[in-house]
Amino acid sequence: MSQILQAIRGMNDILPDEAELWEQFEEQVRDWLRAYGYRPIRMPMVEPTPLFARAIGEVTDIVEKEMYSFTNSLNGEQLTLRPEGTASCVRAVLQSNLLYDGPKRLWYLGPMFRHERPQKGRYRQFHQVGVEALGFPGPDVDAEQIVMCARLWDDLGLTGIRLEINSLGHPDERARHRAELIAYLSKFGGQLDADAQRRLHTNPLRILDTKNPHMQEIVEGAPKLMDFLGEESLKHFEGVQALLRDAGIPSRINPRLVRGLDYYNLTVFEWMTDELGAQGTVCAGGRYDGLVSQLGGKPAPACGFAMGIERLLALWRDQGNKHTAPVPDVYVVHQGERAAGLAFRAAERLRDAGFAVHFHCGGGSFKSQMKKADASGALLAAIVGDDEAAANQVSLKPLRDQAEQRRIDFDELADAVGAWLYEWDDDDGSL
C-alpha cells in the first residue's frame, strides 16, 4: 500500500465534531452581525500581490515574510493567497463602487494564509471573521465595533477577554513621533537587538511591540506617540472612550499597542485572553482612514476588525462549550427487497414533512440495524419488513421510552411521527 498523503504543515482539517462546533459558532456570528446591520461580502482567496504590498505595507511582517506568493505560470502575474481580508474587501468595494450611495457595513468569513511557524493558536491556514465599516468618520462607529465584540463574547458565554486600546493619531503626528523615536533608539546603538536594528529606519513603531525583556527596558523610556497627538486626534480618542465608558466596557490604554499592519490610524484595539498561552489575541482592529485612497479610491474613512476563529473556538471549548452532534428524528431500518423500496420512499416522505431522517444503508440483520438506530440518538425507528411491505405500512418504534411499537399506514406516517415527537415535546420540553 502506498503511504497516505498528509496535509500541508500548519493547514488543518476541521473534522466533523469540530466542524459542527464551527457551524454553531458561525450561526451565532451571523445573528450578531445582522443585529448591527452588517451585510456579507465574499472576496476571492487569491489576489494580485501588489494589493497587499500597497495596503499592508512593504516593511510589515506579513508582507516581508509571511505571504504565500507565486507566479501565475500562464501570464507571469504575481499572485498571493490572501493573508487578511481588509485589503481585498476595500479593493472589492472600490472595484464595484459600493460607496456611491453612502457608507457601508460589511463582513466576511474565511481562510487566510500566512507562512508563520505553526504552533498552538498559530497556523498557516487560519480563519477570520472580518468586519469593516466604510465611509463613517467615527468615533461612534469605532466604539460600536468595540461594543459589538463585547456583545459577541457575551452571546458566546466567553469570559476573561480584556480590551486594550490606543490611538495612533494622524500620519503627520506619527511622522513627528517617528523622528524622535528613531533619535532616541539610535542612542542605544549596539544594545538594540537584531530585530530592532533592522526595523530602526523602516518600521520603528513596531520596536515598541518587542517581546525581548532587555529591549522592553529601552522601550519603556521611549517617546510616547500619545504625547504627539494633536487636538483632533485626542478628541476622537476621547469620544471612543466616552462611549465605551457609557456602555460599561472596561478598557486599558496600552500606549505600545501599534498593530502589525501599516494602514491603521487613530483608534486601534485588541481583545486578549490569558487562557490560550502565547497566542492570546483573539480579535484586533482599528481605524484605517487612509487605505481607501491608498488603493486608488476617493478618500473615505474606515474602521474594522478581525477575529481569529481558531483561537476563539479554542477558548469557547476550554470554557466548557461542548459540540452537540445533531440527532436524527427517525432512523429507518428495513429488510427484504420490497421493504427496502417502501422504506426508501418512507424516508423521503418524512423529509418532505421536515423531519431529519437517517436511512440505513448497507444491509445487515434487523438486530444490528436496530443497534445502529439506537446509537444514532434518533427518537424513533421506522421499521419495514416483509409484513409491513405487504400491507403498505411502517412500524414506528420509540427508542427513548417504553411506549409500544405501532403499525402505521404509509400515508399516515408523517402525521404519526409528528404527533409522537410533539407529544414528547409537551412532556418534558426537551426535544
- C-alpha 380/C-alpha 403 separation (Å) is 11
Using the minimum distance from each CB to ligand ATP, give the nearer residue, 225 or 306: 306
Q: Which of 91, 206, 236, 311 forms a contact with ligand ATP (CB under 6 A)?
A: 311
71, amino acid identity: T
* Residue 276 in contact with ligand ATP, rule: CB under 6 A: no
The values of phi and psi at residue 260, to 5°, are -95, 5
CB of 18 to ligand ATP, least distance (A): 15
34, amino acid identity: R
Query: Could you tell me whether strands 302-308 and 125-134 are parallel, antiparallel, or unpaired per DSSP bridges?
Result: antiparallel
Cell 431529519: give the residue. Answer: 356
Nearest to 165 by CA among 221, 87, 238, 218: 238
Query: Could you tell me whether strands 162-167 and 265-272 are parallel, antiparallel, or unpaired per DSSP bridges?
Result: antiparallel
* Residue 282 in contact with ligand ATP, rule: CB under 6 A: yes
Using the minimum distance from each CB to ligand ATP, give the nearer residue, 225 or 307: 307
For the chain, give percent helix, strand, coil, nearest 5. Answer: 45, 20, 35
| Contact in structure between 380 and 373 (CB atoms under 8 Å) | no
Number of residues that bind ligand ATP (CB under 6 A): 18
Q: Which residue has its beta carbon closest to ligand ATP? A: 308
* Residue 286 in contact with ligand ATP, rule: CB under 6 A: no
CB of 264 to ligand ATP, least distance (A): 10
* Residue 126 in contact with ligand ATP, rule: CB under 6 A: yes
Q: Which of 82, 104, 105, 114 forms a contact with ligand ATP (CB under 6 A)?
A: 114
* Residue 284 in contact with ligand ATP, rule: CB under 6 A: yes
Cell 511622522: give the residue. Answer: 175
- C-alpha 418/C-alpha 278 separation (Å) is 51
Q: Which of residues 289-308 bind ligand ATP (CB under 6 A)?
A: 306, 308
* Residue 130 in contact with ligand ATP, rule: CB under 6 A: no
CB of 1 to ligand ATP, least distance (A): 34
* Residue 88 in contact with ligand ATP, rule: CB under 6 A: no
- Report DSSP letters for 170-194, one per residue: -HHHHHHHHHHHHHHHHTTGGGS-H
Using the minimum distance from each CB to ligand ATP, give the nearer residue, 128 or 233: 128
Q: Which of residues 46-65 bind ligand ATP (CB under 6 A)?
A: none
Q: Which of residues 351-390 bind ligand ATP (CB under 6 A)?
A: none
- C-alpha 413/C-alpha 416 separation (Å) is 5
| Contact in structure between 230 and 173 (CB atoms under 8 Å) | yes
Using the minimum distance from each CB to ligand ATP, give the nearer residue, 308 or 385: 308
Coil vs helix vs strand at 157: coil
- C-alpha 186/C-alpha 188 separation (Å) is 5
Contacts of residue 305, defined as CB under 8 A and 6 or more positions apart, other chains included, come to 130, 131, 145, 149, 269, 283, 284, 285, 286
- C-alpha 153/C-alpha 282 separation (Å) is 11
CB of 127 to ligand ATP, least distance (A): 8
Q: Which of residues 235-274 bind ligand ATP (CB under 6 A)?
A: 260
Tell whether omega for the bond before 139 is within 30 degrees of 0, i.e. cis.
Answer: yes
Using the minimum distance from each CB to ligand ATP, give the nearer residue, 115 or 176: 115
CA dihedral 408, 413, 416, 417 (to 10 degrees): 120
* Residue 310 in contact with ligand ATP, rule: CB under 6 A: yes
Q: Which of 30, 122, 338, 351 forms a contact with ligand ATP (CB under 6 A)?
A: 122
* Residue 281 in contact with ligand ATP, rule: CB under 6 A: yes
Q: Which part of the chain contacts ligand ATP (CB under 6 A), choosing from 119-127, 174-182, 349-357, 373-381?
A: 119-127
CB of 197 to ligand ATP, least distance (A): 21
CB of 270 to ligand ATP, least distance (A): 7
Q: Which part of the chain contacts ligand ATP (CB under 6 A), choosing from 118-126, 326-334, 365-373, 379-387?
A: 118-126
Answer positive or negative: Cα dihedral of 27, 28, 33, 36: positive
CB of 91 to ligand ATP, least distance (A): 17
Which DSSP helix (H) or strand (E) runs through 109? strand 104-113
Using the minimum distance from each CB to ligand ATP, give the nearer residue, 135 or 308: 308
Using the minimum distance from each CB to ligand ATP, give the nearer residue, 306 or 370: 306
Give, in order, the Cα–Cα distances in Å from 281 to each of 149, 213, 379.
13, 20, 42
Coil vs helix vs strand at 426: helix
* Residue 82 in contact with ligand ATP, rule: CB under 6 A: no
CB of 90 to ligand ATP, least distance (A): 15
Using the minimum distance from each CB to ligand ATP, give the nearer residue, 110 or 260: 260
Footprint of ligand ATP on this chain (CB under 6 A)? 84, 114, 116, 121-123, 126, 128, 260, 279, 281-284, 306, 308, 310-311
